[in-house]
Amino acid sequence: MAIFIQQLCNGLALGLVYALVAVGYSLVFGILRLINFSHGAVYAFGAHAAFFFVGLNFGPVPAIIAALVITGLLGVVIDKTALAPLRKKRSVPIAALVTTLGISNIIQNLLVVKFGSQRKPFPDFFNLGAFTLGGIQFSSRQFVMFGVSLVLLLLLLLVVNKTKIGLAMRATAQNAKAASLMGINVNSIITLTFLMGGASAAIAGGMVGGYYQVVYPGMGFMIGLKAFAASVLGGIGSLPGALVGGLLVGVIESIAALYIGSNYRDSMAFIILIVVLIVRPAGLFGKNEVVKV
């Protein structure tokens, strides 16, 4: 029982990090109907940026903030240099999709060039020590990761659902042409979306770096795919969906690691993905929009 609860906490903490990455997929998909497969590499970039700034003796929190800013900007640069020109030429959607795969490779290789391909130790910066509760030992890292992710996700939900700019984002996601008629600068909204996606990936990357105390250029590959699975599970384009999807993937894989064996851990997200696509293609929170004529 103790180990079950430990695994559950582990799953919840990891799940919220998946959610933090998953919102990046959902935000971009919501606005552009594009699955941004460079997002995993952006996450790895964020972790390395945090690693870099920690190395400059920034201290952990300022390092994460610096990483957040620079990674958010990376997201914007990706859009402005590679994706925006495709939109302007009204190219087929698959072109943008393949472009994001290419960008993913470019980012990963740049990370190898700058930092080397080996695993590098990352400081254990948010470990407040272990503690015992009801006879079960917990690591405080999980709780910090869970708390920070939850606050950020709620903040994001608040911005999207309660602010003027959030309303503009939702309007743009539903009908970009009508949004521009309302006076919304659609290009700025797209820029903001990439900025938010990049920044949340950077925070996730920095925290996972601290959690496992390691960073390496390929670290975004698996989590990127898992977060993608999580966003599809929740209903891609939906932020609450990304949150719930991330939590489910995190918890299910942790529990599966316990009962089925840790070798199957990484496959759980994809088993979930396949089942969702068959049973409920729109995802948990996704809906087929009503169009009246």
Partner 1 sequence: MLLKITGLNAFYDNVHALKNIDLTIEKGEIVSLIGSNGAGKTSTLSCITGLVAARSGRIVYKDRDITNFPAHKIVGLGISLSPEGREVFPGLTVEENLRLGMYAKGGRKESAPYARVYELFPRLKERNQQIAGTLSGGEQQMLAIARALMSEPELLLLDEPSLGLAPNLVLLIFELIKEISKQGVTILLVEQNANMALLVSNRAYVLETGRVALSGESGSLLNDENIKKAYLGNVS
Q: What is the contact surface with partner 1 in residues (CB under 8 A)?
A: 164, 167-168, 170-171, 174-175, 177-186, 289-293
DSSP string, 145-188: HHHHHHHHHHHHHHHHHHSHHHHHHHHHHH-HHHHHHTT--HHH
Q: What's the min distance (Å) between Cβ of 190 and partner 1?
A: 13
How far is the C-alpha of 108 from the C-alpha of 185, rounded, in Å? Answer: 32
Q: What's the min distance (Å) between Cβ of 237 and partner 1?
A: 10
Q: What's the min distance (Å) between Cβ of 182 and partner 1?
A: 5
Q: What's the min distance (Å) between Cβ of 107 and partner 1?
A: 31
- Other C-beta atoms within 10 Å of 278: how many? 8
Q: What's the min distance (Å) between Cβ of 43 and partner 1?
A: 29
**Interior/surface letters 33-63, b for 16+ CB within 10 angstroms, e for the rest:** ebbbbbbbbbbbbbbbbbbbbbeeebebeeb
Q: What's the min distance (Å) between Cβ of 156 and partner 1?
A: 18
Token pair of 227, please? 């977060």
By beta-carbon proximity to partner 1, the closer residue of 183 and 261 is 183
By beta-carbon proximity to partner 1, the closer residue of 175 and 262 is 175
By beta-carbon proximity to partner 1, the closer residue of 168 and 229 is 168
Q: Are 22 and 231 in contact (CB under 8 A)?
A: yes
Q: What's the min distance (Å) between Cβ of 162 and partner 1?
A: 11
By beta-carbon proximity to partner 1, the closer residue of 165 and 275 is 165
Q: Are 209 and 17 in contact (CB under 8 A)?
A: no
By beta-carbon proximity to partner 1, the closer residue of 167 and 225 is 167
Q: Are 38 and 78 in contact (CB under 8 A)?
A: yes
How far is the C-alpha of 161 from the C-alpha of 158, rounded, in Å? Answer: 5
C-alpha pair distances (Å), 122 with each of 40, 51, 60, 143, 186: 19, 6, 10, 19, 39
By beta-carbon proximity to partner 1, the closer residue of 205 and 283 is 283
Instruction: Please report, as a single letter, which amino acid is at residue 107.
Output: I
Instruction: Please report, as a single letter, which amino acid is at residue 179.
Output: A
By beta-carbon proximity to partner 1, the closer residue of 23 and 168 is 168
By beta-carbon proximity to partner 1, the closer residue of 61 and 165 is 165
Coil, strand, or helix at residue 98?
Answer: helix
Tell me the sheet residues that pair with 132. 137
What lies within 8 Å, CB to CB, of 265 at 6+ separation is 253, 254, 256, 257
Q: What's the min distance (Å) between Cβ of 93 and partner 1?
A: 19
